[in-house]
């Protein structure tokens, strides 16, 4: 076979070779551009977490709880996180909140996150009287987005009452939205009789019949407000998907009916987005798993949610016996 002429070489060199360097460079540029666009789109989202931390102080069992929490929330790029079961008592709340924030933000500094708006601040809180304790943290660069008159509202207007430690909320303006974010901890109860169990049963009812109803009534008067409930609800509405046993516990039935009757416009956004896999947020000592931690949103605003995810954890990264759940909110167009 004769060797190619110089003109053949020129023609071959000028041809577009999909396996050549030019094609590789072009493909790499396309990949880089797509990656940058994806990152830019992600940066536009408001990332809200809900996490039952089962205490926010270090313990002998989970001595590095705060460090683990700081790393996990930073890894997930959270802008807001709603905490349940802080176990912060009313009489020492200022000292304990300050200690917790100090540990949290010191860890961020050690991770290389500078205090240029990405450190944490308290938006709303309700300390524990007999159990629970709820807290909403926001990045400092979001503090100016908070409506100050609404940031410290708690069940009962901040007065000492049976639902203290189980509910708090904040209102913020972000991305063209007005967002009313409720942090809810529905206490557990057993089938036993007694004053303490009856008190918790009353709290469970009051949260849905009174506290959340009043909050939703306020929001209904506020046009285009996104209403979000974040929390540990301690019951499941769809046991076939949300419980490893597939059975609905008797104690779930009342709250399922109450939630659906009193708040029919609030939807479980994880299921509403089409997630049909069996995935859980809490594993009990009995190895029974349930999806107790979730987000609800008023149905007309569900299109504002781009995603909601249950974050997998292992023993090395777990903050508590509950998994972090993340909701991503898109700005208005």
In angstroms, the first-to-last Cα distance of the chain is 64
The token pair at 270 is 């994880």
CATH number at residue 110: 3.60.10.10
Record the pTM: 0.84
pLDDT band, very low/low/confident/very high, at 29 (cuts 50, 70, 90)? low
64 assigned to active site: no
Residues in contact with 267: Cβ distance below 8 Å, sequence separation at least 6, in sequence order: 296, 297, 298, 299, 302
Query: Which CA distances in Å does 316 have to 62, 64, 65, 68, 324?
Result: 10, 10, 11, 9, 15
37 located within any domain: no
The token pair at 57 is 């102080």
Catalytic residue among 51, 166, 167, 232: 232
Is 52 known as a binding-site position? yes
Is 79 known as a binding-site position? no
| pLDDT 10s digits, 114-123 | 998 999 999 9
pLDDT of amino acid 316: 78
Total structural domains in the chain? Answer: 1
205 located within any domain: yes
Between residues 80 and 318, which one has the greater pLDDT?
Answer: 80
Nearest residue to 126 (alpha-carbon basis) of 74, 85, 95: 85
Is 54 known as a binding-site position? no
Query: Which CA distances in Å does 52 have to 16, 101, 267, 274, 306?
Result: 57, 17, 21, 24, 23
Is 232 known as a binding-site position? yes
Is 234 known as a binding-site position? yes
322 assigned to active site: yes
The token pair at 157 is 């207007």
Q: Over the chain, what is the mean pLDDT?
A: 84
38 located within any domain: no
Give the CA count within 13 Å in the CB-facing half-sphere of 76.
28
Between residues 217 and 25, which one has the greater pLDDT?
Answer: 217
What residues make up the domain containing 321? 44-329
In angstroms, rounded to a whole number, what is the distance separating the alpha carbons of residues 219 and 77?
A: 28
30 located within any domain: no
243 located within any domain: yes
pLDDT of amino acid 102: 95
**Could you give the angle at which helices 195-206 and 250-262 cross, rounded to 10 degrees?**
30
27 located within any domain: no
Catalytic residue among 185, 270, 280, 296: 185
23 located within any domain: no
| pLDDT 10s digits, 137-184 | 999 999 999 998 654 445 444 444 678 999 999 999 999 999 999 999
333 assigned to active site: no
Q: Do 46 and 297 touch, CB atoms closer than 8 A?
A: no
Is 322 known as a binding-site position? yes
Question: Would the pLDDT of 18 be above 80?
Answer: no
6 located within any domain: no
Section 63-67 average pLDDT: 85
């Amino acid at each position: 076979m004769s060797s190619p002429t110089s003109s053949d070489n020129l023609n071959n060199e000028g041809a577009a070779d999909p396996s050549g360097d030019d094609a590789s460079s072009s493909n790499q540029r396309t990949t880089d551009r797509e990656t940058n666009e994806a990152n830019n789109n992600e940066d536009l989202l408001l990332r809200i977490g809900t996490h039952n931390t089962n205490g926010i102080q270090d313990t002998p069992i989970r001595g590095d709880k705060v460090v683990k929490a700081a790393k996990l929330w930073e890894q997930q790029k959270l802008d807001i996180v709603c905490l349940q079961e802080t176990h912060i008592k009313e009489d020492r709340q200022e000292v304990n909140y300050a200690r917790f924030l100090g540990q949290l933000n010191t860890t961020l500094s050690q991770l290389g996150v500078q205090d240029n708006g990405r450190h944490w601040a308290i938006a709303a809180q309700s300390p524990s009287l007999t159990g629970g304790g709820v807290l909403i943290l926001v990045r400092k660069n979001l503090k100016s987005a908070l409506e100050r008159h609404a940031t410290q509202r708690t069940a009962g207007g901040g007065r000492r009452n049976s639902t203290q430690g189980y509910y708090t909320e904040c209102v913020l303006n972000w991305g063209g939205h007005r967002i009313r974010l409720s942090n809810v901890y529905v206490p557990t109860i057993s089938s036993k009789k007694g004053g303490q169990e009856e008190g918790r049963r009353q709290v469970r009812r009051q949260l849905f019949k009174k506290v959340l109803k009043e909050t939703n009534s306020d929001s209904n008067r506020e046009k285009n407000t996104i209403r979000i409930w974040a929390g540990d609800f301690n019951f499941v509405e769809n046991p076939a998907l949300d419980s490893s046993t597939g059975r609905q516990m008797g104690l779930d039935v009342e709250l399922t009916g109450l939630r659906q009757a009193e708040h029919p416009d609030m939807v479980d956004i994880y299921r509403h987005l089409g997630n049909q896999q069996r995935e859980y947020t809490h594993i009990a000592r009995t190895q029974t798993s349930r999806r107790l931690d979730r987000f609800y949103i008023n149905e007309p605003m569900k299109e504002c949610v781009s995603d909601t995810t249950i974050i997998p954890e292992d023993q090395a990264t777990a903050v508590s016996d509950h998994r972090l759940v993340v909701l991503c909110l898109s700005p208005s167009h």
